[in-house]
Chains A and B, each alone.
Chain A
Amino acid sequence: MAALALERRGNGWRLQLNGDWSLAALANIEQELQTLTTPIDAPMVCDWSHAEAPGIGPVWALLTRLRDLNAGGFPVAHVREPYTLAFLQQLEVERHPGQGAKVNPSPAGIIGALGRWTLNQGVEARGAVGFFGRMVTVLGEAFTRPRALRVPSIVRHVYETGITAIPIVSLIAFLISVIVAYLGAQQLAKFGATIFVVDLLTISVLREMGVLLTAIIVAGRSGSAFAAEIGVMQLNEETDALRAMGLNPIEVLVLPRVLALIIALPLLTIIADAMGLAGGGLLSLINLHIPLPQFMNRLRESISPTTFWAGLVKAPVFAVLIGMVGTYRGMQVRESARELGRLTTVAVVQSIFMVILADALFAVLFMQIDF
């Protein structure tokens, strides 16, 4: 049954409203209203006596449509009208039509978007440099005011980012070095140089893999945790509360995390190195039948005094990068839960990228200075 029926009645119009007029029927009613195109050129009567359960949405739709059609302003009377009608009529008068909510803003031009993106990059870069500067300033202060170092907080973060990461770091370092040793041995066997698998293993684990794997795991574990933790504090205005109490969020939140990582990451790297060598040694023993004493001898011969340090020296640098990216992104969270998720993702992706970029720079540098 049609929800509306318009008919000429003497000198005026009569609009009969039928059937379901609840919110659920609105889609249907709107369609019928759109087919109503006859301009109203005489007084009109709306008969609601056959409309069931009229909701405010449909009544509103009818009122706005009638206003469009009734350009001449002819009187419209209502019979058996719903109790909400008078209220909606008043609201309708207060709010002129055509002022409806526009949900989607018009899409910006592509050049405008490019311009905004470029400006944004500049602002971001400035923000990151400024953040680093503020952190260094606070660190400088800490030398004259040891309380600013917040040792209990550092200890807590060393535990959370370091100690609790030991199992996963050990496991991954162990497994990866087993894989490398196995693949390396297969290739070297072609030249009958299986024993050189020890050289391959020691140098790759100590110089690169130990520290790089550890840094990537820590970036995934702790970089995200830093960003999320500080981000939620931002949303709860906890950082504002700190500022209001005269505490510097950089000193209270950022510095302990970064310093904790600087302590924890080299220690984790040493564990990863040891586990990596252990994994390689085990594989050599079982699969390549190199006895452990021979493995140790070869190991000692293959490393130079700097091999171990070439890996370890990178750890604090990676720690600073991971800690800073995580906390910086956390401090950037504003306003919404979506921002929190986005910036946590950015923190992880960016800190892993920074770690690998820094590793590449280290590789070039070490080659140049023959380290």
Chain B
Amino acid sequence: MSNETSSPIIRVHGLVNRFGAQVVHNGLDMEVRPGEIFGIVGGSGSGKSVLLRAILGLRRPDAGTVEMCGQDMLRLSRARRAALVRNYGVTFQNGALISSLTVAQNIQLPLREYFSFSEDTLNELAFLDLGLAGLPPDSADKYPAQLSGGMVKRAALARALSLEPKLLFLDEPTSGLDPISAAAFDELLLYLHSQLKLTVVMITHDLDSLFRTCNRVGVIVDGRMITDTLEGILQNPNPWIHDYFHGARARAVQKEDHG
């Protein structure tokens, strides 16, 4: 799927993030190519979410550059940034649905902000996005608190897709889901990826999900990122990576996959 020759859609170079004396990223490099599903892996506290926030421009890094679609995220004017925001969708770890709005209103929130559509059009689009995310139509009028964990993740995905982005960021999309729901989410992601030609950047701890969906994987170790294909990363001699992918839990997953 990934195109080796095309220029990267995201390029992070020499990223440094510090919290007081604690250095989270120390010269981290990362590249995401158009059309791939890129998995970000790392131990708890290794700064996966911080990296995502830095890429999205929600946090100003202490050093380094972040480019998205060829534009420097740190030096964008407000107007340029607003235009760029429409190119990507994000789902946060806990869904981050606005709790006082229904699912349909959550999906329509960015649409209302950027376009002036009629109510009928907005309803039709919400209906379409629910369909894309595999949610039943009657979930439109529900509030986030009335949804199950899996449905919250799907509703967040529907909201992220509402502006028809080419780039999708997912922060632990399958965490807290049962294996069946998580597998269904993986299939949905693969399907949308192939049908809508999306580029996906996914933070995950779910090895099943990682093996099923990702083309390439970036592992954050000691504040830097080691990027490789799945096969390549499995051969990597780094002790942390070895433990991560060859620990008891990982072995069970691989047995399933290859056995």
Which of A57, A99, A103 is the one whose CB lies under 8 Å from B141? Answer: A103
The stretch from A20-28, A121-129, A297-305 touching chain B is A20-28
User: A22-41: contact bitstring with B at CB < 8 Å (1 yes, 0 no)?
Assistant: 11101100100000000000
Cross-chain contact A84 with B115 (CB below 8 angstroms): no
Specify which chain A residues have a CB less than 8 angstroms from the CB of B121 in the assembled complex.
26-27, 30, 61
CB–CB A60/B124 < 8 A: yes
Compute how far the CA of A56 lies from the CA of B123 in the bound complex, rounded to whole angstroms: 15
Whether A241 is near chain B, meaning CB under 8 Å from some CB there, is: no
Instruction: For residue A98, give the distance in angstroms from its CB to the closest CB of chain B.
Output: 10
Given contacts A61-B124, A83-B197, A337-B100, whether A102 and B140 have CB atoms under 8 Å apart is yes
- Name the contact of A27 in the complex, choosing from B116, B128, B144, B145 (C-beta under 8 A): B116
Residue interface bits B114-152, CB-to-A below 8 A is 1, else 0: 011111111111111011100001001101110000000
Please determine whether A56 and B128 come into contact, CB atoms closer than 8 angstroms.
Answer: yes
Contacting residues, chain A, for B125 (C-beta < 8 A): 26, 57, 60
How far is the CB of B63 from the nearest CB of chain A, in Å?
35
Within residues 96 to 111 of chain B, which ones have a CB less than 8 A from any CB in chain A? 98-100, 102, 104-105, 108
Q: Cα distance A25–B98 when bound, in Å?
A: 27
Which one of A24, A26, A87, A339 has the greatest number of beta carbons of chain B within 10 Å?
A26
- Distance between Cα atoms of A262 and B88 in the complex (Å): 54
When C-beta atoms are compared, the residue in chain B nearest to A105 turns out to be B141
Number of residue pairs spanning A and B whose beta carbons lie under 8 angstroms apart: 90
In the complex, which residue of chain A has the Cβ closest to the Cβ of B114?
Answer: A24
**Residues in B whose Cβ lies below 8 Å from that of A335:** 99, 143-145
Q: Does A100 contact B (CB under 8 A)?
A: yes
Q: Is B77 an interface residue (CB 8 A)?
A: no
Whether A64 is near chain B, meaning CB under 8 Å from some CB there, is yes
Q: Does B163 belong to the interface (CB within 8 Å)?
A: yes
Query: Given the complex, which residues of B lie within 8 Å of A103, measured CB to CB?
Result: 102, 104-105, 108, 119, 122-123, 126, 140-141
- Contact status A101-B123, CB under 8 Å: yes
In the bound assembly, the distance between CA atoms of A334 and B146 in angstroms comes to 11
Q: Is B195's CB within 8 Å of the partner chain A? A: yes
Closest residue on chain B to residue A55 by CB atoms: B164
**Residue among B121, B128, B132, B143 with max Cβ neighbours from chain A (10 Å):** B128
Question: What chain A residues lie within 8 Å of B130 (beta carbons)?
Answer: 101
A57 to B121 CA separation, bound complex (whole angstroms):
9
Knowing A23-B163, A91-B132, A335-B99, the reply to whether A101 touches B115 (Cβ < 8 A) is: no
B100 close to A27 (CB less than 8 A): no
CB nearest to B102 among chain A residues: A103
Q: List, in ascending order, chain B residues with CB within 8 A of A24's CB.
A: 115
Instruction: Confirm or deny: A289 has a beta carbon within 8 angstroms of a beta carbon on chain B.
Output: no
**Contact A56 B196, CB 8 Å, known A94-B131, A103-B105, A334-B145:** yes
Classify chain B: how many residues form its interface, as a range. 35 or more
Whether, in the assembled complex, A145 has its beta carbon less than 8 Å from a beta carbon of chain B, the answer is no
Residue of B116, B137, B143, B197 most packed against chain A (CB within 10 A): B137
> Once the chains bind, are B195 and A84 in contact (CB under 8 Å)?
yes
- Min CB–CB distance A102 → chain B (angstroms): 7
Q: In the complex, which residues of chain B have a beta carbon less than 8 angstroms from the beta carbon of A80?
A: none
Chain B min CB distance to A100 (Å): 5
A358, B239: Cα distance in complex, Å: 70
Residues in chain B near residue A334, CB distance under 8 A:
145
Q: Which residues of B contact A83 (CB under 8 A)?
A: 195, 197
A8 interface residue (CB < 8 Å to B): no
**A338 sits at the interface (CB 8 A):** yes
Check if A144 is an interface residue, CB within 8 A of chain B. Answer: no
The interface residues of chain B lying within 8 Å CB-to-CB of A102 are 123, 140-141
Whether, in the assembled complex, A11 has its beta carbon less than 8 Å from a beta carbon of chain B, the answer is no
A340 vs chain B, min Cβ distance (A): 9
Q: Give Cα A95–Cα B126 distance, bound, in whole angstroms.
A: 13
B117 to chain A, nearest CB (A): 5
A342: nearest residue on chain B (CB-CB)?
B100
Complex: chain B residue closest to A85, CB-CB: B195
Closest to B124 in A: A100
Q: Is A336 an interface residue (CB 8 A)?
A: yes
| Neighbouring B residues of A30 by C-beta, 8 Å | 117-118, 120-121
Closest to A59 in B: B128
CB <8 Å contact, B99 and A101? no
Bound form: Cα–Cα A164–B128 in Å? 54
- Alpha-carbon separation in the docked complex, A94 to B128 (Å): 12
A101 → chain B, closest Cβ, in Å?
4
> What is the 8 Å Cβ interface bit string for chain B, positions 75-102, against chain A (1 contact, 0 not)?
0000000000000000000000011101
CB distance from B154 to the nearest CB of A (A): 15
Residues of B within 8 A of A99 (CB): 127, 137
Most buried by A among B116, B140, B143, B195: B195
Residues from chain A with a CB closer than 8 A to the CB of B117 are: 26-27, 30
Given contacts A26-B117, A87-B195, A102-B140, 12 further A-B contacts (CB under 8 A): A22-B164, A26-B115, A30-B118, A57-B125, A60-B124, A61-B121, A83-B197, A102-B123, A103-B123, A335-B143, A335-B145, A337-B99
Which positions in B face A, CB cutoff 8 Å? 98-100, 102, 104-105, 108, 115-128, 130-132, 137, 140-141, 143-145, 163-164, 195-197
Could you jot down 22 A-B contacts, CB within 8 Å?
Answer: A23-B163, A23-B164, A26-B115, A26-B125, A27-B115, A27-B117, A27-B118, A30-B118, A57-B125, A60-B124, A61-B121, A64-B124, A84-B195, A99-B137, A101-B104, A101-B126, A102-B140, A103-B102, A103-B104, A103-B122, A103-B141, A105-B141
Cβ-closest 3 pairs across A and B: A338-B100, A336-B99, A335-B145
